[in-house]
Amino acid sequence: MKQFHPLKVVAKQQETRDSLRIALDVPEALRPTFAFQPGQHLPIQTTVDGKRLRRTYSICSGLGDWPLEIGVRVQPGGQFSEFAANELAVGDELEVMPPTGRFHVDLDSDNDKFYLGFAAGSGITPILSIARSILNGEPGSRFALFYGNRKQRSTMFIEDLYALKNQYPDRLQLHFVFSREDQEFEINAGRIDAEKVAELCAHFCRGDHADEAFVCGPDSMITTVTAALTERGMLADTIHAERFGVPRRAMKPVAEEPAASKDTTTVTVIMDGHKKSFDMVRDGVSIVDAAAGSGVELPYSCKGGVCATCRTHLREGDVRMATNYGLEPWEVEAGFVLACQSQPVSEAILLDYDKA
């Protein structure tokens, strides 16, 4: 199982009034462990007022850049983000798990691709990493980024984006859309919705066929942008999406499932080559929470079905997933599940955390 490692905060910088950039030093010996694919995120843990908090933050660094940088939007009342904004200082340590997540690009220096990126608000964080890495690592590829915000002053990483545009003027298209600020051109005003996607693509892509698209923002934006891209002829498996700000959903008890004849399940997990078992009652609690109650720690971060830190392979038995934003269709097909969203529906299940 991936472990948490203490990483030192080596820089902390205000990005906008309500967002931060935090740089984490990764010692040379740990760099292979923290090697990441652009677009992935880091589960981070700390203790605030005696309470252990765990959150997931996307990496904004380009491939091969150290220290690792993350973007943090400070949410009013958000325990971790307010701690990061008000108390975390350079020199402090955070417990950090190696990069994870299925929202990423597989780079190939021989690629000659045209990529689209659609980001809203802090959704720019992983897309900045993806765009940087593609432009640096695929000399034949181009990237068109459409980035929506309320106002210019609330736009995260704006200086990084202008610097990237200066570095790659012919291969990066950079277009901002602002919803609460007058714009000289109508096309730059409003929200990134289906209509805006059609308008932006018609105006700036001019029949250029996109090979892959990366979309990151709130749930409603993902749904509309994905549908608009599909409408324009992109295949579903070339559109990659990551949802930000998805609320945690309580799971309903598995009452109507007919398969089980008793209301407890024996859960066996394989992790790092070892087997552990515990019994859980099928009363609406997830496998991750039931395991914790039995003294078995399973990996998790968001517990909202988004980050896929809890991804595991169901080798035997059946489960029902309440929500899945973190797994691709092929992974579900292949038997992978999100343990934070899964409840057993059979009397015994076997979960293999060692299967990649």
> Site residues (CB under 6 A) for ligand FES?
300-310, 326, 338, 340
CA–CA separation, 183 and 206 (whole Å):
22
Complex with ligand FES: residue 133 or 301, whichever CB lies closer: 301
Residue reference for tokens 């000289």: 184
CA–CA separation, 226 and 91 (whole Å):
41
The residue at minimum Cβ distance from ligand FES is: 340
- Minimum Å distance from CB 311 to ligand FES? 7
Complex with ligand FES: residue 42 or 338, whichever CB lies closer: 338
Complex with ligand FES: residue 177 or 216, whichever CB lies closer: 216
- Minimum Å distance from CB 263 to ligand FES? 24
Q: How far apart are the first and last CA of the chain?
A: 11
Complex with ligand FES: residue 210 or 241, whichever CB lies closer: 241
Q: Which long-range contacts (CB under 8 A, 24 or more apart) does 268-274 make?
A: 268/348, 268/349, 268/350, 268/351, 269/296, 269/298, 269/312, 269/350, 269/351, 269/352, 269/353, 270/315, 270/350, 270/351, 270/352, 270/353, 270/354, 271/1, 271/353, 271/354, 272/1, 272/353, 272/354, 273/354
Instruction: Kindly state the DSSP code that residue 207 receives in the 8-state scheme.
Output: T
- Minimum Å distance from CB 293 to ligand FES? 16
- State the DSSP H helix or E strand holding residue 194, giving kind and residue range, or none if neither: helix 194-200
CA-angle at 231, arms to 225 and 235, nearest 5°:
85
- Minimum Å distance from CB 167 to ligand FES? 34
Closest CA to 173 of 184, 186, 188: 188
Complex with ligand FES: residue 99 or 148, whichever CB lies closer: 99
Complex with ligand FES: residue 145 or 321, whichever CB lies closer: 321
- Minimum Å distance from CB 301 to ligand FES? 5
- Minimum Å distance from CB 40 to ligand FES? 13
- Minimum Å distance from CB 302 to ligand FES? 4
Closest CA to 71 of 31, 5, 23, 9: 23
Complex with ligand FES: residue 97 or 192, whichever CB lies closer: 97
